[in-house]
Chain A
Amino acid sequence: KAGVTQTPRYLIKTRGQQVTLSCSPISGHRSVSWYQQTPGQGLQFLFEYFSETQRNKGNFPGRFSGRQFSNSRSEMNVSTLELGDSALYLCASARSTPRQETQYFGPGTRLLVL
């Protein structure tokens, strides 16, 4: 069974631009969660999608948004990029409830904002 895939793996953008990251979950998994990891703040929860609906959202500004498609693939978008958005963005999939089930993480997208 293929693992969680994320594209692109690396990305360089400049301030003010926007970016879209993609995540394909493990086949059969309906929950996709997104996380941001920085050296200063560690791992932080961004949002969780289940069956095309956003189920939970972390404490991030509205510039961070996401969506999930009917095939469970998910995208997250960051608009008006700031230097502080430079981070590793990870997605993880689970069958249904990431808080109570094993999550499977993708390799991450490393975003650098200049």
Chain B
Amino acid sequence: KNEVEQSPQNLTAQEGEFITINCSYSVGISALHWLQQHPGGGIVSLFMLSSGKKKHGRLIATINIQEKHSSLHITASHPRDSAVYICAVGGGADGLTFGKGTHLIIQP
């Protein structure tokens, strides 16, 4: 069973700061997902990665398959980026395995 660790668990930053959230996993995977969950429960899929790097607006996700590590970066952070960011990995018969999430608060 894959173990997924996210860091930090909680992060408070000022508007405009560069944000990095990390995710490590224990077993080789076919893909890694970054999800965003706002208060109220709705989850949005931000990225699905199997190698390299992806960018969407101010969000950048990278993955290092050899190191079993991924990072999610937010440039020019904004209060609307405040949410829980969840890393999830898939590759076996256990469906997706999720990290505990990173609670991000961006203060104006």
Contact = CB atoms under 8 A, between A and B. Distances in A.
B41 interface: yes
A100 B94 contact: no
A45 B45 CA distance: 16
Interface string B16-59: 00000000000000110101000001111100101000000000
A92 B90 CA distance: 14
A58 B41 contact: no
Contacts, number: 63
Contacts of B44: 105
A12 to B, nearest CB: 17
A58 B45 contact: no
14 contacts: A33-B95, A33-B96, A37-B41, A42-B100, A45-B97, A46-B95, A88-B41, A90-B41, A98-B90, A99-B30, A99-B96, A102-B33, A105-B35, A105-B43
Closest 6 CB pairs of A and B: A99-B90, A45-B95, A43-B98, A105-B43, A108-B41, A100-B31
Given A99-B96, A107-B42, A108-B42, 8 more contacts: A33-B95, A43-B88, A48-B95, A90-B41, A98-B96, A99-B30, A99-B90, A105-B43
Interface of A: 33, 35, 37, 42-48, 56, 58-59, 88, 90, 92, 98-105, 107-108, 110
Interface of B: 30-31, 33, 35, 41-45, 48, 50, 86, 88, 90-91, 93-101
